[in-house]
């Protein structure tokens, strides 16, 4: 795969001379995704699933085609198992708010979750009295399967874990975790927002009950997410939003809900985002997830090679770049993370993320105020890494402790 030629597909790469290393926050979009979004507004700017004129019918067809593409790409059981949401956060909350949990039931997470996979459970702890347990990783954030096993018993009803940490890049063996959860009668929800853009995900092989992801991290539109669920597991969820589009028939006294997935898609949908979602998945499919995994690994290894001897650089996460899934989080002795990020941008237009990355408990537990996070994707190349390393070395030498 000629990744260098792919850079020309991204208008930001053609118009901005900086180095974008913030894809774990939000990816750039290729021309084909932008064209798909524009196509909706220019040719079919109407509702799907309601009117029966030819424009509305075309939108309905495109919605169905997008579900079919998602099902094929992620190897799901059926297109109807893919629910459109705004983002991963809404998808996780759809499960948290709809899953039949009662006082005394336990949810197990890890110590490396995004806030979106902590706050819903804390809310349920405070509102209905569920229990929360978490597996503990080492200081470097590597998932500990034995710690996870120690938290599982028959009181656990749901396991909710990230597949890939947005701080350390460490991955969780979700197939093994799912097997352990199922052996104890629990279901599993996976936050795949950081994994899905970079790792081949096979829903059937991993035996996942629920999987949440965001398209804005995988070349797609902002405001688009997906909740995948096995048919029988989606059926057991209570809807969280009520209104048009998610009902069969409503009378003054009763309501019949529409079948899955419609019952979770109340109100007008983000049709332009659905058009763009299909284009994004088609683009990734064309590039090939195995190629993307290999490209990410090569760039992370090169980044490690060029920065490992920088004075005062402290990694947040494992030393081994092969365990970091497109992410290098770090700090420079004597400097705050935001200061480093701003200096990188000022020196050579190097764009990174800084702060706690919406994973506050991870940093609070380690008494760390945050980190700088550089993340790579398909449009990055070795020259980007060289510019990043050069600017970072300059910052360390001139301003570090």
**Residues taking part in catalysis:** 358
Burial class (CB in 10 A: 0-12, 13-18, 19+), 378: buried
Q: How far apart are CA 117 and CA 96, in angstroms?
A: 9
Token pair belonging to 315: 């990694």
Sign of CA dihedral 120, 214, 71, 200: negative
Neighbours of 280 (CB within 10 A): 28
Strands 350-351 and 19-20: parallel
Q: How many Cβ atoms sit within 10 Å of the Cβ of residue 374?
A: 30
Q: Which residues contact 332 (CB under 8 A, 6 or more apart)?
A: 310, 312, 313, 314, 340, 372, 392, 395, 396, 400
């Amino acid at each position: 795969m000629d990744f260098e030629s792919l850079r020309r597909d991204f208008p930001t790469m053609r118009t901005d001379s900086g180095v974008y290393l913030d894809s774990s926050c939000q990816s750039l979009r290729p021309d084909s995704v932008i064209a798909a979004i524009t196509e909706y507004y220019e040719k079919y700017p109407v509702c799907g699933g309601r009117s029966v004129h030819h424009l509305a019918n075309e939108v309905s067809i495109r919605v169905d085609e997008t579900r079919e593409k998602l099902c094929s790409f992620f190897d799901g059981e059926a297109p109807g198992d893919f629910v459109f949401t705004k983002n991963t956060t809404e998808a996780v909350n759809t499960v948290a708010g709809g899953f039949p949990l009662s006082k005394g039931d336990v949810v197990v997470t890890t110590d490396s979750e995004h806030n979106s996979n902590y706050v819903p459970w804390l809310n349920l702890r405070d509102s209905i009295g569920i229990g929360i347990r978490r597996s503990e990783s080492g200081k470097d954030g590597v998932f500990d399967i034995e710690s996870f096993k120690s938290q599982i018993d028959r009181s656990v009803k749901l396991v909710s874990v990230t597949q890939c940490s947005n701080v350390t890049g460490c991955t969780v063996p979700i197939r093994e975790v799912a097997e352990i959860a199922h052996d104890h009668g629990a279901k599993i929800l996976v936050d795949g927002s950081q994994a899905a853009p970079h790792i081949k995900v096979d829903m059937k092989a991993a035996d996942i009950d629920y999987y949440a992801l965001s398209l804005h991290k995988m070349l797609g539109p902002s405001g688009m997410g997906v909740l995948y669920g096995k048919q029988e597991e989606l059926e057991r969820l209570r809807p969280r939003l009520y209104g048009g589009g998610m009902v069969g028939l409503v009378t003054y006294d009763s309501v019949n809900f529409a079948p899955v997935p419609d019952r979770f898609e109340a109100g007008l949908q983000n049709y332009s985002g659905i058009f763009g979602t299909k284009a994004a998945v088609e683009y990734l499919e064309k590039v090939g997830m195995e190629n993307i995994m290999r490209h990410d690994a090569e760039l992370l290894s090169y980044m490690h090679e060029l920065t490992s001897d920088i004075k005062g650089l402290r990694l947040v996460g494992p030393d081994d770049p092969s365990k970091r899934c497109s992410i290098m989080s770090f700090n420079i002795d004597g400097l705050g993370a935001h200061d480093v990020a701003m200096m990188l941008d000022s020196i050579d237009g190097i764009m990174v993320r800084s702060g706690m990355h919406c994973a506050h408990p991870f940093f609070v537990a380690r008494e760390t105020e945050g980190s700088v996070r550089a993340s790579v994707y398909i449009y990055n190349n070795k020259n980007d890494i060289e510019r990043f390393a050069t600017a970072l070395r300059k910052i360390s030498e001139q301003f570090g402790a």
